[in-house]
Amino acid sequence: MTLFIWLFNFAFAASVPEGIYERPCMMFGDEDVLSSELVIQGNIWTTTHTAFEDTACEMPYLIFQTRYKALTQKNDVDLTAIAFSYTVLTDEVAEALNFIEYCGFHDWQKGITKTVTGLQCADFTVPALGEIIYSIFEYNEIGAINSELYLGVPSVFRDGKAPEARHDQTDIWPYYLKRH
């Protein structure tokens, strides 16, 4: 009986198709302009966020990349931290980050990627290796030409740091499966 229940749950476990998902360039808050790309290969989810100086998204200045091992079941996803990094794209940003010793570094350089897994970066504590974020997702196929992927976001009582605090709402902005 236990094997049957396990097979039943496995058969109906939701999954997200492999591929490249994109979130178009848009403004977040008052001054952050970002585009994001999520690459799903097997159970590895790699997100690359590119920050821009302009609303036309023509002058990138910083890349933040996250890599997780994902375990999905139904619409839950447990994301185990593998690696996080920043890449500075301009000399001006490198100088500014060096001045404030961002993430504890004082040797930022244009074009050089720095691993920041588990570090304190200003008011942001980057997840440590092996740290798990308990989240949710919603995947929608819209006809034969479009698919949307919504990822969970933290809320006041659902920060994703424990199974009982799993995110319970998704971001309003989806990632779109890139079609070739």
Question: What pLDDT digit, counting tens, does each position of 25-53 carry?
Answer: 998 877 889 999 999 999 999 999 999 99
Would you state the structure tokens that stand for residue 165, as one six-digit string?
A: 């605090």
What is the domain range of residue 32? 2-177
pLDDT over threshold 90, residue 10: no
Q: How many domains does the chain have?
A: 1
Q: CA torsion sign, 140 to 130 to 28 to 63?
A: negative
Q: Reduced to 3 states, what is the DSSP secondary structure of residue 104?
A: helix
User: Got the DSSP string for 128-180?
Assistant: PTT-EEEEEEEEEEETTTEEEEEEEE--SS--SSSGGG---EE-SSPEEEPP-
* CB-based contacts of 7, cutoff 8 Å, min separation 6: none
pLDDT for the residue numbered 11: 34
pLDDT in tens, 123-148: 999 999 999 999 999 999 887 668 99
Q: Kindly report the backbone phi and psi dihedral angles of residue 85, in degrees, each rounded to the nearest multiple of 5, phi listed first.
A: -150, 160
